[in-house]
């Protein structure tokens, strides 16, 4: 049985023309195109945390939100 993967393009609100182009040129509907809905960064650092940081290291390999902010698009592939 073939493994079905899901491809999602998340496009910056500043690049809606790219989102429209991706939707129009989508080959056989194989990918989903979403315009980024974030209003602001959810994780904001405070000066003094109320609890100690127990995380050894950041588990994320690459920040998708950074891709969106820098180049206007991020690609997410999900099995």
Query: How confident is the model over 30-75, as pLDDT tens digits?
Result: 899 999 987 765 555 555 556 666 665 555 545 777 778 788 898 8
In a domain, 14, yes or no: yes
> What total number of domains does the chain contain?
1
In a domain, 17, yes or no: yes
Question: 32 near 11, Cβ under 8 Å?
Answer: no
In a domain, 69, yes or no: yes
C-beta neighbour count of 72 within 10 angstroms: 17
Q: Which domain holds residue 15?
A: 10-38+63-73
**Residues whose CB is less than 8 angstroms from the CB of residue 4 and which lie 6 or more positions away in sequence, other chains included:** 79
Nearest to 31 by CA among 12, 10, 6, 13: 6
H/E element, 25: helix 16-25
> Is the pTM above the cut of 0.85?
no
In a domain, 3, yes or no: no
In a domain, 78, yes or no: no
């Amino acid at each position: 049985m073939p493994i079905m993967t899901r491809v999602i393009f998340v496009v910056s609100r500043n690049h809606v023309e790219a989102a429209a182009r991706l939707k129009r040129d989508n080959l056989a509907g194989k990918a989903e195109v979403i315009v980024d809905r974030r209003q602001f960064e959810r994780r904001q650092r405070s000066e003094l945390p109320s609890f100690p940081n127990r995380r050894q290291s950041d588990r994320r390999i690459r920040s998708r939100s950074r891709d969106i902010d820098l180049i206007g698009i991020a690609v997410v592939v999900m099995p």
